[in-house]
Amino acid sequence: MSAPHRFDRGHTDDLMSFLAASPTPYHAVANAAERLEKAGFRQVSETDAWDGSSGGKYVLRGGAIIAWYVPENAAPHTPYRVVGAHTDSPNLRVKPLPDSGAHGWRQVAVEIYGGPLMNSWLDRDLGLAGRLTLRDGSTRLVNVDRPLLRVPQLAIHLDRAVSSDGLKLDKQRHLQPIWGLGDDVRDGDLIAFLEEELGLGAGQVTGWDLMTHSVEAPAYLGRDKELLAGPRMDNLLSVHAGVAALTAVSSGELPYLPVLAAFDHEENGSQSDTGADGPLLGGILERSVFARGGSYEDRARAFAATVCLSSDTGHAVHPNYAERHDPTHHPRVNGGPILKVNVNNRYATDGSGRAVWAAACERADVPFQSFVSNNSMPCGTTIGPITAARHGIKTVDIGVAILSMHSVRELCGADDPHLLANALVAFLEG
- Summarize pLDDT for 119-173 with one digit per residue, the tens: 999 999 999 999 999 999 999 999 999 999 999 999 999 998 888 888 999 999 9
pLDDT of res. 2: 40
pLDDT of residue 187: 92
What is the residue-wise DSSP string for 157-190?
A: GG-TTHHHH-----TTTS-PPEEEE-S---TTHH
pLDDT tens-place string over residues 320-335: 999 999 999 999 999 9
Residue 41 pLDDT:
98
How confident is the model over 368-393, as a mean pLDDT? 96
How far apart are the C-alpha atoms of 356 and 393, rounded to whole Å?
Answer: 13
| The pLDDT of residue 98 | 97
Helix (H) or strand (E) holding 115: none
Q: How far apart are CA 378 and CA 207, in angstroms?
A: 38
**For 243-265, how does the pLDDT look when each residue is reduced to its tens digit (9 = 90+)?**
999 999 998 789 999 999 999 99
Pairing mode, strands 338-340 and 369-371: parallel
pLDDT at 221: 97
pLDDT-based confidence at 430, cuts 50/70/90?
A: confident
**Over residues 73-83, mean pLDDT:** 96
- Rounded to an integer, the average pLDDT of 293-316 is 98
What number of other Cβ atoms are within 10 A of residue 413's Cβ? 22
Tell me 265's DSSP state. -
Query: What integer best gives the mean pLDDT of the chain?
Result: 96
pLDDT at residue 5, as a whole number? 54
pLDDT at residue 415 above 90?
yes
25-48 average pLDDT score: 98
Instruction: For residue 114, give the 3-state DSSP assignment.
Output: coil
Confidence (pLDDT) at 163: 86
Buried/exposed code over 107-116 (b: 16+ C-beta within 10 A; e: otherwise) = bbbbeebbeb
Q: Is the dihedral of CA 36, 40, 44, 49 positive or negative?
A: negative
User: How far from the centroid of its chain's Cα atoms is residue 46's Cα?
Assistant: 22
SS3 content of the chain, % helix, strand, coil (to 5): 30, 30, 40
